[in-house]
Structure 1
Amino acid sequence: MKQSIFNQFIPTNLLFGCGSIKKLATEQLPGKKALIVISSGTSMRKYGYLDQVIELLAKNGATAVVYDKILPNPIRSHVMEAAALCKQEQCDFVIGLGGGSSIDSAKSIAVMACNPGDYWDYIHGGTGKGQPTSGGALPVVAIPTTAGTGTEADPWTVITHEERNEKIGFGNASTFPVLSIVDPELMVSVPAHLTAYQGFDAFFHAAEGYIARIASPISDLYALKSIRLLYQYLPTAVTDGANMEARSNVALASTLSGMVESTSSCTSEHSLEHAMSAYYPALPHGAGLIMLSVAYFTAFAQVVPERFMQMAEAMTGQRSHDPMDFVHALAHMQKACGVSELKMSEWGITEADLPRFVQNARENMGALFGLDPVALTNEKFLQIYKDSFR
């Protein structure tokens, strides 16, 4: 019998459940003055989430400054601008409030509030210099209002260098949130199409983590549970956003998928998508993953057939004898969520872009290719793009 060898390190105090946001008023905070990082959109103010957080912080003896420029695909210049504000205002912790882009940005801002130079000095891949973040990072509090990235339970942050079309992940022990509050009641305002995109991002974190070469018995538990919950509840959350049972289970699945990212890893599907949204930043990350997914997973189905059949069984509850059962269940799930007809061309992508996407993915997020179940050639990845193109 093969022995299991694995590490688990998730040092985040996680508060989960409806109404848990209220605990921000009583939970021990990592500082007295927060930089609250939110998106450039209107939802955090429109639905009262920002005011609620500021009020709860005040009850807990903390003040706040707000940075509100974060884009759906966050960029390096905003990280640097917000870090400067953080230092100027002498904030001693950072709160990411909103979707994965805001929480990811909060992590990167927390790093640059404690380290000199440019954010890209510390990035591995692309033109990054790969220097150590010897200054550590300010403590981060994550308050997600979407269910997708699981960034509340992992150290990862993805930022784009907008001048170089480099979209690269980064993270270390200091970028884990010290406190994460996951309250599904904050997620009911997410529109149906974004609920679907975000939910599938969580799904692919789990599925990629399950087939990754570094999957462990611990990550497998998180992954299969996340996959099962999303297959069962995401279509309902998309069609009936006020259904709290569905919202809560999708939120749980997203957090579990973040734990997968802390104990296993994404594979090259994420590298392929990062290349797409590096050039076309209006493309939602989850939408890009959805468009690639059927061709991508088909390419690996016969490589680790047992893993694919196990994922299919987690989804459908039925015995699987064919690894393609997973791909068929995935296609069914996408249809049920109304995202089976997404087209790259709707975001301006052309077939001429596809070869440079392969090159960009290799150059900037090449490490994930090494975690695939088997190494594929650039020609094969180009074929995955072509098969996905519409």
Structure 2
Amino acid sequence: MDRKRDLEDKIAALLKLFPAVAVIGARQCGKSTLARKLLPDWRYYDLENPNDYQLISSDPVAFFSINSGRVIIHEAQQYPELFRVLRGVIDADRNRKGRFLLTGSSSPEIGKGITESLAGRIATVEMWPFKQGELFQRPLSPLYDAIVSNRGMQALTDLSSTVTPEQSARVWLRGGFPEPAIHAAADHAYYKLWMDNYIRDYIARDIRSLFPRLNINNFRRFLLLLAQFSGHQLNMSEMARSLEVSVSTIKDYLDIIHQTFVWRNLPPYEKNSLKKIQKAAKGFFRDQGILHYLLRIADLDALLLHPVAGHSFESFVTEEIIRGLHCTMETGLEFFYYRTVDKSEVDLVVEGFFGLLPIEIKLNSALKQQDLRGLKNFIHDTGAPFGIVVNRAASIQQPAENIVQIPVHYL
């Protein structure tokens, strides 16, 4: 599983700029493997290992007096006091860069530690399961650098494919968690067992430990219900009635699953003053393999025939694009969806220092002009320079003057 990750160059660059870097993301997405591969000569401590936890927590000041740099601390959120101690260690030699690499898989604790104790001293990078090119050891598409460097639509027409259509479909169907993604092709039984254990462990370990007062049975039912809503605007009242809980409980559950990197809440883009905007919450499972496992979708044919196919493909593409953009050194990136009361829609709106980029996502390989209506309206209303359509076409095309079609296997 020792594959190059697209974030490696970014993390190496940030270690030259900051005393510490935190790599956060879902469990089993490869954080520990990346850290050890990128920094093989650094000392490695895992706070889920009782011996390492005792070594650091029993006397953290003494530990860091000996280990003042070149240290990897895995699952740092297990010892929240760590962040306060690190602040003093870093401030004692503030100009020294590249001293600590922290990893974490539970956003509430590690996020609080970073913002309250290490602000300005640490750079945070979010990691994910394999992007489609990472699984097949292909370099990151130049698409993302072209977007953030604001080189315009013409720079996107000369791209080449990252993977084959078949490889892209495999990652969409099975997801990108390293262990099942690598072994699933040879052993489907292993894939199912891994997914089942991952979901059980996520509920039993992460959720129970982070939120000990939570009703675990209700939360398990919530996950199964959420599979029916992934990729949709969320009707929280309907969800609350189905589970016989309050709407505020549903909001809490959505916040929990978002903060533990399993789900992405996508806010509405509300800055178009010319139109009335629908403001309902929208979100999706970040890894479509989890969604398809929960829905018992076994193969690509079954997926393409399933009512969830369009929303699942949209979620897969959205996540691929977000991951690709986060591999760049660009800051201030924000992601939205857009829908007006008159049903003008754009699946993904990216906002950054480069401006606005609307992206429409279609499962089919052939475009109809009506598929472009939402993009054209958004471009007209906001002055965005151009838009992108991502679908399963064979090659890049330009279906309108200010719109470029990019196949999913080019991402």
User: Given the two structures, how large is their TM-score scaled by the length of structure 1?
Assistant: 0.29
Higher percent of residues as strand: 2
Higher percent of residues as helix: 1
Q: Which structure's CA Rg is the greater one?
A: 2
